[in-house]
Structures are given as structure tokens and as C-alpha cells.
Chain A
Amino acid sequence: MPIFIDRRLNPKDKSLGNRQRFLRRAREDLKRSVRDHVRTGRIADVDREHAVPMPRKGINEPTFGNDKETGRRQHILPGNRTFSPGDLIAKPGGGGGYGSAPGTTASEDDFRFVLSREEVLDLFFEDLELPDLVKLNLKQILSFKPRRAGFSASGAPTNINVGRTMRNSHGRRIALRRPKEAELDAIAQQIAELEAKPASAAVSESIAALREAFERLERRRRRIAYVDPVDIRFNRFDPQPVPNASAVMFCLMDVSGSMGEREKDLAKRFFVLLHLFLTRRYERTEVVFIRHTHEAKEVDEHTFFYHTESGGTVVSTALEEMHRIIEERYPVAEWNIYAAQASDGDNFATDSERCIELLDRKLMRLCQYFAYVEIIDERESHIFGSTENGTSLWRAYNAVDGKWPNFQMRRIAAPADIYPVFRELFARQPDLRKSA
């Protein structure tokens, strides 16, 4: 008789530690593929699991091994039908030696493995240099709160609802006619009284009858419990998502020729981060893409990032378009409105005034938050670092910045500069939740 052990219920993911070590090892490669994924995929897709190709670097396990291209060897093969000793067989073109190394032929490109959502986000956050607390917040899935939702017949003992349970028990006792304590007491009393009398045949007969009745009631009491499992009711709790309304996120971007690949990539990360934040805070998030040259248009995500258009730059058109869309589709009472604008700062000279006016009079009153990033060349970053002067749009927005606390602006030259734009946003979380 062997020993049997059922291991099926043992904790799974025994090799999770190995997986983490492997991912850390291949970090650079994986980061690159996540970056590509962010660049090519949709904004909302970042927040999901993602299949990546097997990394190439850093995961070799070298050993002293024989070089297949040198020396003399023999292959022993089964199934000879036509060969005689001395026959010559031409070697196949691409690296012969069949039968010697099975399994190495499958090309490694086919190997893609799935990174979990958390792992993708971890890699995405790495460049952005987010503070840990923020990372944690962003990784958290919608928070739930247990809310009372009636009663149920099953549950944990701590949740027993005593009132309900006793009411059920009472009803059942009445329905099944469970003898009451008083009835038993009355009979016992009668018996006692009869026993006190002098003994006679009639008395002992009625004592016997009473005793029998007493026992019957006693039995019945035992059979019908005072509190039966069927009486018990538990408080039921339903996980309810923390009440939060919907949010809409406006992505505004200048797509005139001056915005190159690098600028767009940075802009996209900026949008992704805001989107991540919004999906965590709000149950429903919509994204509206508005791109502009000298005129603005609402477009789908792909067009937004990948189609270039030539033309001048009139920023106010985008703001007007945004205003129009808000009026049309997103009543402020129902939607939290966030806006993120990315630009290289060029604007038609006289237009900046109009932008200030639009923001000041209309949009800032509607928006929860308006973030503006100006994407600059890395070489310029130290020149413009913190100076007030800059492009015309920058100077114009500076005025708005001073006036509205929910307006943020920043120059960014590298991914790590993006987060500070949102610092305010992430810091104000508790208030936001209340206002939502």
C-alpha cells in the first residue's frame, strides 16, 4: 500500500519567484517591447496584459559545447532502405546534422509570452519615474465597498442577523406547534398535585395519563428545535464600486509638420498616463481626440497619432472644437472633464490672446483639470529649463496658470519629465474623490 498525497490543492504559482527573477533579468528587452507597444497600441490597451516576444539579451546560458561546424562525427539513423556502404549523400544546405539536436530548430521569434497587467504597468512606469505611492494607486483596480443588500440563508457566523433569525424561529415554532414551557409546567404541576393526594386507582390512572402526555410533549419539544438551521439569516453584503461618475478625457495635439516621431511618442505617453489615472478614478472613461493644424477636427485614435497633415498652427481652433463637443455631448453635470494638450509651442502670433480668453472665460470653468505639455528638444531643455519666456503659447498659458489652480503646464524633453505635470493631480486625489 503506497502513500497517496493529493497535491492538487497545493498553492499554485510555485515558480512565480523564478518568473520574477527572469523578468528582472530581461528587463531592458521587455521595456523596449512595452515601449513599442505603447507607441503602436491604443491608449486604453496599456492597462491590459500583453504578449511580448522572448527577450534575446542576457538570458543565454553558456556552456562549453561542441562546435557543430568542426571535426568528424558519426550519425546512427534508423530506417535505411536504399543505401549501401560507400554511398555519398549531399549535405542539406542550411546547417545539417539532423537528428543531433532536436528542438533547437523552432525559431525563437515564435515564442511570445504574456506579461500580466501589473508587469506591463511596472515596465511602463519605469521611465516615467513615478513615485511608488502613485504607482500603487494606478495599479489598483476599482475599489469596492461592501454594502448591505438584504439577507441570505448562508454566510459567515459573524454576519448572523439575530432579529431575523429569531423571528423565523418564532414563526416556525408556532406553525409546528412546539409545546411551550408553560404547558409543560402546568402538567408537571397537575402531576405534583395529584401525587400529593392519597393514592387510589383513579388517581394513579390519571397520573399515568398525565405522565404520558408530559412525555409526549417533551419528545415533541426535543424534535422541534428552538432555533433550527433553517431559521438562520445572515446579513448580505454586495461589493459596490465606490460611487464615481464618468469622466471624459480630451486629448489635444498639434499635428503640424513640426511634431515629429519623438514628440508624438512623448505626447502619447503623456496621454496614456492621464488615461490610466482616469480609469482608476472613474467607472467610465471616454477619450476624445482632437487634432489641429490651422483647423481642428475630432478624429479616431489611429488617425490622431499616425496621420500627419500640413498647415499652419492655430491652437484656438482646437479649444473651440473642444468647447463645442462639451456643449454637445458632455453636460458638465454628468461628466468630469479632463483635458491634456500637447504641442511644440508654435502658434499663430495673434491667436494666443484668443486662447487665453477661451480658457479663461469658458473652458477652465468646465474642466476639472487642464494639463498642457510643451515638447521641446533635449538640447533646449537646459536653456528653457525654468525661464518665463518661451514660445508664444507658453507665454500666453503662463497667464492662465497663475489664475487657475487646476491648470498645469510643463516643458518636457524626456519621459521622466512627464510625471511632474500630473503631480498636482495625484496629490489631490482625496479631494477629487469627494468632489466626484
Chain B
Amino acid sequence: MVSQARKSELLFSGSDWNFAKLSRVYDEIEALGLEELRLDIYPVQMEVISSEQMLDAYSSVGMPLMYRHWSFGKRFLYDELLYRKGARGLAYELVINSNPCIVYLMEENTMALQALVTAHAALGHNHFFKNNHLFRQWTDAGGILSYLDFAKSYIARCEERHGLAAVEAILDSAHALMEQGVFRYHRPPRLSSEQQREGLRERLEYEERSFNDLWRTLPPPQESGETKTGIDEDAAERKKSLHLPEENLLYFLEKNSLILEPWQREIVRIVRVIAQYFYPQRQTQVMNEGCATFVHYTLMNTLFDRGRISEGAMLEILRNHSNVVFQPAYDDPRFSGINPYALGLDMMQDIQRISTAPTAEDRDWFPDIAGRGDWRDTLLDAWANHRDESFIRQYLSPALIRKWRLFVLADGADEPHYEVASIHNERGYAKIRSALAQSYDIGASRPDIQVVDVDLLGDRHLRLQHTVKDGVMLEGESRDATLRHVRNLWGYDVSLAAIDGGTGAMLSERWTKEL
């Protein structure tokens, strides 16, 4: 009797899935997620795909639509090879930051896995996409699919009109600068060209209205000593009008290049918009995966506790879960860096622990959340307001550092040894935390390259500047190749100067003329 009652409560049994089961499970998980974790999600669109289609999606950077380029073909071959050789499995799911949120499910998954994936992607990732401030500020989930659709057909049209080779050349060059094609600090200007023209006209009109010939008769302002010569002033004026220095190379080239035709500009812009779209994802790997993993782990366990999932299915879910969050030690042959799933989940569970059962040490380190009891609020707040770097800086606890036995190796390129800088002890906690946070700061780990000056009236020579941090230079061969791409887009000479960030000394300078 009892077993029968239990059985009828089960959401599914057996490993085969069908759409009715998927739908039932989704509804249950969604209700639970909203009630239990107070998640807030986009509507969900689930798409069932085969492994081949999953490989296709991989090669187009996970997007359902993408323009055509040979580099995607190359990536596809690599992925396919790895998969065929069995060196790598395919993801069980793929989720796209769009509204409605698109979740791909693999047809090979068992029902238990589909449930896991539903909780992970359709709830966890979805909530993160909708609520994290980076995604809210920088990406347009509602418009991305139609934008990609536009991009794809636009580039196809260009290929038809201008030839594959011409389009490929522009795409190659733009792809090379993708990393330098994002705004990191300010939103891109949103003015439409219409508004811009309007603004310009108003300004001119105002100048005309307020014209007064008397001003011309005033003596020129006194040059106070050696401050500014005419040339310097020109340079300052020029930089101001071009908004220099500019860190977004693609944006600068798109707006100011003298040789690009309108369709080429548009292609550069497409690449830039896509780079910008992916920028938040790269900054929130640990948090995004951690959030999704935490959500699926919590929800699946709750469902099991309520008797809605059979023991067999739960066992399968747990096995997959522990594969995903497996973190080998540094000397393990399987070690390949810190697993973002593992780190994210551990930190979030740690927050749960600190909120409900803090130790004295936790109270010391986290006075504002320790023992507050409501871990949901703390987590929702963290998910909404942090990226990896700030999240780790804020929430990595000494207890977790001890659990992971983290240590920091200092690595100077010209020294024969690594030095163990900090380990998990009282003196090391803060340092490890800040070093780990630093390593997730994309702004710090990517080379800082900016447009500093351009001589528009003279030989149109474009000056780039690489601010060297900690003596880390650019890799020579690919730097030269990339500079050539910059030149392709700019059309005139380009130079890249390496300036030491600390001392301001010029370390080297590279001209496209010399290449």
C-alpha cells in the first residue's frame, strides 16, 4: 500500500523520456524553484536535439544562428574529432541567454538526466541570466536572436555581392580584435544616427544664433610660460574629438577608419556586438555554473526528499552531479585548472553554511551574513550583484580555503623556481583570496591595449599603446599578425608601443611598416 502510494507520487519512472514527462517534470521543478529558492526566470523554450546538432551548436559558439566563417568549420572539426575519439563527451545541455530562454536537451539523455538538466539550465542559468547585473546591463536577451538572424543574412548578402574573399578578409581582421572589441567601463553610446544629426544641427544653430564678431577682436589668450605649444593643443583637441584614448579598438576602427566601406563597417560592428554579448559570460563563469549547480543540487534533493524522484534516478543524478563537480588536486594527472562548477557550488554551499551555522571565525570574517539564517536572500543578492572576481573577493571563506587546501605559486619568468607564496594558514587566507579573485578578473589578465593617438591630417598613422603589467609582454608572432589585421581595417600605418604600467617607460615599439 505504502509503496503504491509512493509510486504514484513519482514524477517519472524508467529511463525513457517523452514530452509529457518532460513537461510534468518541468512544471514541478519550476514551481519548486520559484517557491523554494525564490528564483525569477525568463519563460523557457526547450529544444530537443541530436548529438550531431549539438556539435553544430558548439562550433557556432553555442548560438542557434551564426554567420558563416571558416574558423567555425575548423572548430567543428576539432570538436568532432575529440568527440569521435571519445576524448570528450558532449554537454548534456546548452542554454542561451535569450528571452525566452532557449535550453537544448540532448536526445540521448535519460529521463533522470533530463530532469537534472532542466533544473540546471532552465532554472539555474536562466535565473542568473535574468538577474545578474552584468547581463542586465550589457546584453539584450530579448533581441539577440533577431540580431543574429540579421547578422547572418546580412553577411550572406555581402558574400553574394562582394565575394567570399572580401567578406572573409574583414571577418578575419575583426575576429582578431574581438577581445579588444568590448566596452568594459561604459555603455556604448546609444544615440541613433537620427538623434545624432539632430543634436549636431541644434548645436550649429545655437552657435549661429549666439555669434558675436566682437569675440574675434579679443587678443589671443596669454600663453602662460611653456605650458602648451600649438601642436600639443592640436593633439589635445584631436584626442578629445575622437574620444581618445579608446580601449575598444573595433569601435574606434568602425567609427573612424577612412577606408572601410559601409558594408565593411557593418560587419565590424556585427563582430563587436557579438563580442560584447559574450563579455559578461566570460566574467561570470564560476558564478553562472555555481548558481546552476547549486540550484539543481538543491532542487533535486528536495524532490527526492518529498518522494517525487525514485532512488535509482537519484543515484544516477548524483553520479552525474559528482562527475561535474569533480576537482582533482594540482598533482593529479587529471588536473586541468580549477573547476568552475566545483568552486561555484562549494562557495554557495559555504554561504549557506555561514548563514545558518557560523563558527566564530565566520563571524569574524563575515559579520554581515554570519548567522543571519536566511541564506536565500544572501545568495540571491550575490547572484544579482557580483561577477566572479568580486564574488570571490567577497565570499571566499577561510574554511573553504582550508577545505580546498589552496596555495599560491609565484612565478617569475626569469627565475628557475616557483615560489610558494601563501598557503592555507592565518597569514595566507587574505592573500589567497585576493590572488584567486585577481585571476578571475578579465580586465587584469587580458592585455590592456588602447588607441592613444592618430594623425588624421598628416600621414594618418594610428598609435596603439599596450600598458604592460607585471612585465608581461605580448606574444610576438601573433602580435605581429594581429597588427597586420589592424592595419587592414585602418588602411594606414599602425604602431604598437609597449609602455610599462608602473614607470611609464617605453619598452618597445612595433610598426606595421617593419613587418
Contacts and interface: CB of A to CB of B under 8 A. Distances in A.
Q: Do A and B come from one complex?
A: yes
Interface stretch (A84-92, A149-157, A168-176, A189-197): A84-92
Contacts of B410: 72, 74
B482 A69 contact: no
Nearest to A6: B48
Nearest to A102: B336
Interface majority SS (helix, strand, loop, mixed), chain B? mixed
A329 interface: no
A318 to B, nearest CB: 45
Contact of A1 (B27, B177, B481): B27
Nearest to B53: A7
Contact of B52 (A12, A88, A96): A12
Contacts of B49: 7-8
Contacts of B164: 21, 24
Interface in A221-262: none
A100 B337 contact: yes
Contacts of A54: 77-78
Contacts of B435: 74, 76
A64 B22 contact: no
Interface in A70-112: 70-81, 83-91, 96-100, 102-103, 111-112
A136 interface: no
A60 interface: yes
A389 interface: no
A18 B68 contact: yes
Nearest to A58: B70
B408 A74 contact: yes
B236 interface: no
Interface residues of B, number: 101
Interface string A50-72: 00001000011111111111111
A99 B337 contact: yes
B476 interface: yes
B218 to A, nearest CB: 48
A21 B68 contact: yes
A164 B252 CA distance: 77
Interface string A277-294: 000000000000000000
Interface string B362-405: 00000000000000000000000000000000000000000011
A384 interface: no
A5 interface: yes
A374 B160 CA distance: 45
Contacts of A99: 330, 335-338
B418 A91 contact: yes
A1 B100 CA distance: 13
Contact of A79 (B60, B107, B331, B422): B331
A78 B56 contact: no
Contacts of A180: none
B413 interface: yes
B497 to A, nearest CB: 13
A66 B168 CA distance: 26
A315 B135 CA distance: 79
Nearest 4 pairs between A and B by C-beta?
Answer: A79-B329, A71-B472, A22-B73, A18-B73
